[in-house]
Chain A
Amino acid sequence: MSWRRHLAKLVALFRRPKTVDELQEEILVHLQMEEQENLESGMSPAEARYAALRRFGNVALAEDRSREMWGWNGAETLWQDIRFGLRQLKRSPGFTAVAVLTLALGIGANTAIFQLLDAVRLRSLPVSNPSELTVVRLADLPGRRGSQETVYPALNNPLWEYIRDHQSVFSEVLAWSPTNLGITEGDHERLLQGLWVSGDFFKVLGVQPVIGRLFSSADDQPGCGASGVVVSYAFWQSQLAGDPHAIGRTLTIGRHPVPIVGVTHAGFTGPEIGHSFDVAVPICSQSAYWRDGNWLNSSTDWWLTVMGRLKTGDSLSMANAGLKSLSSAAFEASLRQDYPTENIRDYLHFELAADSAPGGVSWLRDTYENPLWMLLGLAAVVLLIACANLANLMLARGSARVQELALRLSLGASQRRLIWQLLWESFPLILLGGASGLLLAGALGNALVALLSRQGDSLFVNLHPDWRVLGFTALLAALTTLLFGLVPAFRATSLAPSEAMNAGSPRIGGMHESNGLRRMLVVTQVALSLVLVTGAVLFAQSLANLRTVDTGFREDSIVIAWLDLSQLRLPVARRLIARKETLDLVRYVPGVEAASEVGIVPLSGGSIDNRVWAEGEDRQSGSDSNFNWIGEGYFKTLGTPFLAGRDFSEQDSPNSPKVAIVNEEFARRLGKGVNPVGWRIRREATPHEPETVFEIVGMVKNSKYRDLREKFAPIVYLCVSQDQNPNPIEQVVIQSSLPLPILTSRIKQAVVGKRLDIDVEFRVFKTQIQESLLPERLMAVLSGFFGILAALLTAVGLYGVISFLVARRTHEIGIRMALGAGKRQVLSSVLRETLMLTVLGIGTGLPITFIVARLIASMLFGIKPSDPVALLFAAFALCGVSLAAAYIPARRAAKVDPMVALRYE
């Protein structure tokens, strides 16, 4: 066939109906003309008609054949092919099971990861016109003081109020902040996922109530108190049993009875992707729910994520220009007394900026997007390996049918028709594989989300498959069919007629070539497996490195307790004493070996850093250091040894000279010799304290502060009992070898038994550290899964090819054995051949592996992407798997009985 005909067919494929109609009309005209001629030559009408038809031959056949020329088989032949495919699947259940399982795993893995990506990255927020949404932030952060209360870009409340009342940049604006709110049910209290929302929040997002009403700006007025709560559909269903009369029922939130005013519709899961919400309360009620700390009139609490809706036709840059010109007045109006004097100039020069945010904000997305794309790439490689396997199976099947196909070719069937038939025959297979893949993806997706959840933080990802996921799966299935179906189909139908005639025995004619192709497929599989197995080894080693990295403190048998004293409504001056009393209650619990207060639990993600310099020197000579608040016994509890000086003690009080303990790294940077004890350091002013001088009284060994990957950073530990602004929430690290449930119930008994108003919560330190490695764990677990899958698929492929090889060479092996070759020799010759294929594959895979390894270099820790040990391990593992796969057919070869083999021939 010439390229012209191929092209013409391609064109015809898209305009088939017209061609078919025209053909019918054309043949009809032909018959009429012939009939007319026959009439003119004197035949009777009936005779004329009959003669015309006879002369034409089989009309339907002519139509069919003509259509076939255009590459159209007609729906009927299509159905025939599919039915034939189904019959074949039924006839060989073993083949069907292997093929469907392979497809399901390949497609399922890809779909599962894509599904997650779709949910966190590709989908927009489930609100009206999400493409108009933007997030407003500070253009530049230097000079910003205070506490960042959320992981998202945030403004303070006075700033938000100014923007709300004065902006004309956006058509509408809203603000929100995530929070935890305690709900009391009977005498049991637990935390809900809450949202502070601005009055217009639901209106701007276009969220409708299912029952009741949602907030309006009237609900968000200064001094509103704990006036009402909107609950989510999920909360309404699960906690209120979908009660149609839920409106007006009260929930006890933060010990206030709060009436439910409305329920949001089912599709709305909150402004953040990765978390849903249970209840929403107006921003104005913050001071009512939280008795300590009024954030409403503070310019140092950065907690509200402000979002604006672009006006129709406005671009993001227009909005940014508008925000810029609004900035100066906004910052001037929102400056409050609590802002540190030396940074007021910075504050007044801040500028606002907006970023497009059709997908809302998502910590989950920021953390996992890159790993997920990477995993999707690895999953695609698995699918490629699966395709190679299926192609191999199909080739084996094609060679069984070579005579049938050859006969049909010589009888005039076109190659194209046969290829179509073979492709359609694989249709039921791919349908089965695709459907099971989709099912598997659902389960895998949920498992993935579970893998990413942390203690006390339930993840919410909407994995309901949408058109993108279904389209992705369909596309994957179609591509897979083409990949594994087309090559064998071409191969099986491209025999020259002479070869076809001679293809009397499956051992002769054309088989040699197909065997070469099968070897090539296996070599490709080994090459791709090398990439995946090496990747898996690298990620696993990287995770192991992080797990065993020297943190500088004890991780085992440490529990973190949160003791919330805020319900006691203590004045600032009384808080330290109350905290000390509570700590003592914990310390006296039998089984508690040590306990101490801590401001920031290491590796929890929290951090304080400030500029610090040696007393008497210039501020410019200083540098930034990490800070932490700790109590007496902290280092003993966590097992961090002192190198010099002393621990904090009872004598360090608010009225005594301010003291500090530093770590080695800080001492090194200070540059005052090996022992910094006795030196005085000056810390810049913070939102809560002026510039302060501390005397170094001790030095401890280095430990990790913010995350495991960091190098040891300078840390200055301050004494909690000298804190000017003690928090009513006390965080305590406890060392105890008691089982967790016993320990927690004893502590609860000791603390709550004494002071009913104290809430206690626990977390396991080690678990929390491991959770900080979730992205690494995700990569290690999934790449390991893919690596094993790849090796298994390759083993199956190798097994198939070697079995085929042995079967084909039974005769030759028989002769060799008759001539004196031993079983061992036969066995080793088969294994040698296998090893050769594997080594060839490893050689081919090496350059690809290097490239892929370089791509993942940034995600590795403590191991080079080109680590020779990892490569060697992967190569040896593959060799081992190959030999194991080839052993069964090799044994079969060694068991060949020369007499039988020769007689067979």
Chain B
Amino acid sequence: MDRIELVFGSLDMLILRTLRWGATHGHGIAKSIERMSEDTLKVEHGSLYPALQRLQQEGWITAEWGVSKNNQRAKYYRLTALGRRQLVSETSRWERFVRAVTGVLRPAESEESQ
């Protein structure tokens, strides 16, 4: 969790973005993030769950039990209207952040920061 908060809640945004395409369960979200980022972002699956709880509390997503393709009981998460709005503002904030960081780092090599 610490690390995720340190990168400005980017995991929250990734989850919200994933859910834009429709409701899915935790495993589905993890797979989808990996697919979208073409496996560059290695998300530890375990770190998804605290984030999911937090997003629920904020009222950005809702959860309900459903049945998966393999006939397994699983909890499905869905974006709420509030979550959709949050996604838009988070995205624009993120873009501003990226622009700013890129501006600062232009002369040097891009490296991971702490």
Residues from chain B with Cβ under 8 Å of A23 in the complex: 49, 53
Residue of chain A at shortest CB distance from B69: A33
A4-B57, A5-B57 are known contacts. Are A26 and B46 too (CB-CB below 8 A)? no
In the complex, A22→B72 CA distance in Å? Answer: 14
Interface residue tally on B, bucketed by range: 20 to 34
In the complex, A34→B44 CA distance in Å? Answer: 13
Hey, what's the 0/1 contact readout for B45-82 against A, CB within 8 Å counting as 1? Answer: 11111101110111100000000101011110000000
A4-B57, A23-B49, A66-B53 are known contacts. Are A33 and B27 too (CB-CB below 8 A)? yes
In the complex, A8→B44 CA distance in Å? Answer: 26
Residue of chain B at shortest CB distance from A52: B45
A5 touches B45 (CB 8 A): no
A70 touches B47 (CB 8 A): no
A30 touches B26 (CB 8 A): yes
A34 to chain B minimum Cβ distance, whole angstroms, is: 6
In the complex, A544→B45 CA distance in Å? Answer: 79
Residues from chain B with Cβ under 8 Å of A29 in the complex: 25-27, 68, 72-75
Residues from chain A with Cβ under 8 Å of B56 in the complex: 8
A55-B45, A412-B2 are known contacts. Are A30 and B25 too (CB-CB below 8 A)? yes
A57-B45, A66-B49 are known contacts. Are A32 and B54 too (CB-CB below 8 A)? no
User: In terms of DSSP, what is the predominant structure of the interface of chain A?
Assistant: helix
**B95 contacts chain A at the CB level, 8 A cutoff:** no
**B1 contacts chain A at the CB level, 8 A cutoff:** yes
Q: What number of residue pairs across chains A and B have CB atoms under 8 A from each other?
A: 86
B45 touches A30 (CB 8 A): yes
B72 touches A32 (CB 8 A): yes
Residue from A4, A36, A56 in contact with B70 in the complex, judged by beta carbons closer than 8 Å: A36
Count A-side interface residues using an 8 Å CB cutoff: 32
B46 to chain A minimum Cβ distance, whole angstroms, is: 3
A695 to chain B minimum Cβ distance, whole angstroms, is: 94
Residues from chain A with Cβ under 8 Å of B53 in the complex: 23, 66, 69-70
B56 to chain A minimum Cβ distance, whole angstroms, is: 7
A176 to chain B minimum Cβ distance, whole angstroms, is: 64
B109 to chain A minimum Cβ distance, whole angstroms, is: 27
Residues from chain B with Cβ under 8 Å of A412 in the complex: 1-2, 5-6
A26-B74, A30-B26, A32-B72 are known contacts. Are A57 and B47 too (CB-CB below 8 A)? yes
B57 touches A69 (CB 8 A): yes
In the complex, A37→B49 CA distance in Å? Answer: 20
A56-B44, A57-B44, A411-B2 are known contacts. Are A26 and B72 too (CB-CB below 8 A)? no
In the complex, A26→B57 CA distance in Å? Answer: 17
In the complex, A739→B60 CA distance in Å? Answer: 88
In the complex, A578→B103 CA distance in Å? Answer: 120
Where the two chains meet, the residues of A that have a C-beta atom closer than 8 Å to any C-beta of B are 2, 4-5, 8-9, 22-23, 25-27, 29-30, 32-34, 36-37, 55-59, 61-63, 65-66, 68-70, 411-412
Question: Given A65-B1, A66-B50, A70-B53, 10 more contacts at CB 8 Å?
Answer: A22-B75, A26-B26, A27-B46, A29-B25, A29-B75, A34-B45, A57-B45, A59-B46, A65-B47, A66-B52
Query: What 9 A-B pairs have minimum CB-CB distances, sorted nearest first?
Result: A62-B46, A412-B2, A57-B46, A69-B53, A8-B57, A57-B44, A65-B50, A5-B57, A33-B27
A selection of 22 A-B contacts at a CB cut-off of 8 Å is: A4-B57, A4-B58, A5-B58, A8-B57, A23-B53, A25-B73, A26-B25, A26-B26, A26-B74, A26-B75, A27-B46, A29-B68, A29-B72, A30-B25, A33-B68, A55-B45, A56-B45, A62-B46, A62-B49, A66-B49, A70-B53, A70-B57
